[in-house]
Amino acid sequence: MSTRAELERAEGELAAAGVASPRADAELLMSYVTGVPRALLIVSARLDDVQRRSYRELVEARSRRVPLQHLTGSAAFRYVELDVGPGVFVPRPETELLAGWAVEQASTRDDPVVVDLCTGSGAIALSLVHEVPKARVHAVELDERAFGWAQRNLDGTGVDLRHGDMADAFEDLTGQVDVVVSNPPYIPLEAWESVAAEVRDHDPSLALWSGEDGLDAMRVLEQTAWRLLRPGGVVGAEHADAQAVSAPEVFARRWTDVQDHRDLAERPRFLTARKPQLR
């Protein structure tokens, strides 16, 4: 079977399984197996018997909705590559905008102290040390398996990574932080059936579910950020597109400059707020 035919067969199998981007996934898996860039697959890729068998096994696994990144073992995020696999939340492209906001905020300060709450794979923390070398970055993760992946990704970077709950994390940094950033769990428990199989069945529960309205973790985050930030410090947190009003309301009582931001698909995606200056 030719490379083109193999790709078309895989695309059909993935489409029938309900994979959102069957052609792209078929190409990415073939590129992973052969080492040939996606753009050159048709002209350059020639699968031997071992590669063909491996490729078909990966396509079959993807058709069972195993996340693509779990099959390839890596996920791209802004300008870095992360090791990912079972037990850790796969970083999403929409979170790159929140990370970009944190990078911008840290870049404006001379000696920025940044805390990444619910770091997961370490994606935001790694982006921060990569793009803002002067930043002192701290990160915390509660889930034990996810913490292991964060260790793997952040080892040797200088990030102060800790295993624990964001509710009482970094008590030694109280009132000393410039930027708090977080992609917390925010899916309401009642939304179980509407969540994609790749997420529901493979991402860790601690990274997904957050009470009846999806904002339990956001309320904890608000309290922790208030404790950690110095006056004038800022917080940014991702939320579901249905929480464009309810998530910022968590910060409305005592924060200033509370704003909501949209992602590249024009969906509400993350909020930002500032701790008031002392008078």
Per the annotation, binding residues are 141, 183-186
Say which amino acid occupies 212. Answer: E
Structure letter (DSSP) for residue 130: H
- Of 82, 83, 77, 89, the closest CA to residue 207 belongs to 89
How far the first Cα of the chain sits from its last, in Å, is 73
Contact 233, 176 (CB under 8 A): no
User: Distance between CA atoms of 252 and 247, rounded to whole angstroms?
Assistant: 9
User: Distance between CA atoms of 65 and 207, rounded to whole angstroms?
Assistant: 18
Contacts with 231 (C-beta within 8 Å, 6 or more apart), sequence order: 275, 276, 277, 278
Residue 66 φ/ψ, nearest 5 degrees: -65, 130
User: Distance between CA atoms of 183 and 92, rounded to whole angstroms?
Assistant: 10
Annotated binding site for substrate: 183-186
Residue 221 structure tokens: 């985050």
Structure letter (DSSP) for residue 166: G
Neighbours of 50 (CB within 10 A): 9
Q: What is the 3-state secondary structure (H, E, C) of 37-88?
A: CHHHHHHHCCCCHHHHHHHHHHHHHHHCCCCHHHHHCEEEECCEEEECCCCC
Annotated binding site for S-adenosyl-L-methionine: 141, 183
